[in-house]
Amino acid sequence: MKRSTTPSLSPPALPALPGEEAPADTGLPRPAAGRHAFHGTRVDSEVGTLRRVLVHRPGGELRRLLPGTHTDYLFDEIPWPELAQYEHDRFTALLRANGVDVVELSSVLTAALEPEAACRRVLRGAAPAQRLGHAVAALTRALLLDAAPAQRAELLLAGLTLRELSAHRPGGTDDALGALARPPDWFVLPPLVNSMFVRDSSSWIRDRYSAHPMATGVRRTEGRLLAAAAQAAGARALQEPDAPEGLEGLEGLEGLEGLEGGDILLPGAGCVVIGVGERTTPAAAEHMARVLLAGGTADHVFAVLLPRARSCMHLDTVMTMVDHESFLISSVHRDQCRWFSMRLDTRNTVRASALDKPFAALAAALRVSGIRLIDTGDDAFTTRREQWSDAANVLTLRPGTVIAYDRNTLANDRLSKAGIDVLTIPSAELVRGRGGPHCLSCPLVRDP
Say what the alpha-carbon torsion angle 51, 54, 60, 63 is, to the nearest 10 degrees.
-90
In this prediction, residue 309 carries a pLDDT of 80
Question: Do 164 and 257 lie in a common domain?
Answer: no
Question: Do 291 and 394 lie in a common domain?
Answer: yes
The catalytic residue positions are 439
Q: Of 8-12, 126-130, 197-201, 210-214, which gets the smallest average pLDDT?
A: 8-12
Give a yes or no: residue 8 inside a domain.
Answer: no
Give a yes or no: residue 131 inside a domain.
Answer: yes
Give a yes or no: residue 74 inside a domain.
Answer: no
Report CA Rg, the chain.
22
Q: CA-to-CA distance for 110 and 121, rounded, in angstroms?
A: 14
| CB distance 330 to 381 below 8 Å | no
Q: CA-to-CA distance for 433 and 441, rounded, in angstroms?
A: 14
What is the CATH classification number for the domain harbouring 135?
1.10.3930
Percent of the chain whose pLDDT exceeds 70: 89
Give a yes or no: residue 209 inside a domain.
Answer: yes
pLDDT tens digit string along 239-297? 776 655 554 444 455 567 799 999 999 999 999 999 999 999 999 999 999 999 998 99
For the cut 50, the answer to whether the pLDDT of residue 204 exceeds it is yes
pLDDT tens digit string along 345-396? 988 889 999 999 999 999 999 999 999 999 998 777 777 777 777 899 999 9
Give a yes or no: residue 135 inside a domain.
Answer: yes
Strand order in the sheet with 326-329: 319-323, 326-329, 372-375
Question: Do 258 and 359 lie in a common domain?
Answer: yes
In this prediction, residue 252 carries a pLDDT of 54
SS (H, E, C) the chain: CCCCCCCCCCCCCCCCCCCCCCCCCCCCCCCCCCHHHHCCCEECCCCCCEEEEEECCCCHHHHHCCCCCCCCCCCCCCCCHHHHHHHHHHHHHHHHHCCCEEEEHHHHHHHHCCCHHHHHHHHHHHCCHHHHCHHHHHHHHHHHHHCCHHHHHHHHHHCEEHHHHHHHCCCCCCCCHHHHCCCCCCEEECCCCCCCCCCCCEEEEECEEEECCCCCHHHHHHHHHHHHHHHHCCCCECCCCCCCCCCCCCCCCCCCCCCCHHHEEEEECCEEEEEECCCCCHHHHHHHHHHHHHCCCCCEEEEEECCCCHHHCCHHHCEEEEECCEEEECHHHHCCCEEEEEEECCCCCEEEEECCCHHHHHHHHHCCCCCEEEECCCCHHHHHHHHHCCCCCCEEEECCEEEEECCCHHHHHHHHHCCCEEEEECCCCHHHHCCCCCCCCEEEEECC
| CB distance 320 to 46 below 8 Å | yes
Question: Do 176 and 216 lie in a common domain?
Answer: no
Question: Do 284 and 344 lie in a common domain?
Answer: yes
- Strands 326-329 and 338-344, bridge-based pairing: unpaired
For the cut 70, the answer to whether the pLDDT of residue 333 exceeds it is yes
Q: pTM of the prediction?
A: 0.89
Give a yes or no: residue 28 inside a domain.
Answer: no
Question: Do 164 and 233 lie in a common domain?
Answer: no
Domain that residue 136 falls in: 110-189
Question: Do 180 and 295 lie in a common domain?
Answer: no
Q: What is the mean pLDDT of the chain?
A: 88
Question: Do 166 and 231 lie in a common domain?
Answer: no
For the cut 60, the answer to whether the pLDDT of residue 21 exceeds it is no
Beta bridge partners of 422: 402
Question: Do 288 and 212 lie in a common domain?
Answer: yes
How many structural domains does the chain have? Answer: 2
Question: Do 289 and 167 lie in a common domain?
Answer: no
- Strands 300-305 and 101-104, bridge-based pairing: unpaired
Question: Do 263 and 321 lie in a common domain?
Answer: yes
Question: Do 298 and 171 lie in a common domain?
Answer: no
What is the CATH classification number for the domain harbouring 308?
3.75.10.10
Give a yes or no: residue 148 inside a domain.
Answer: yes
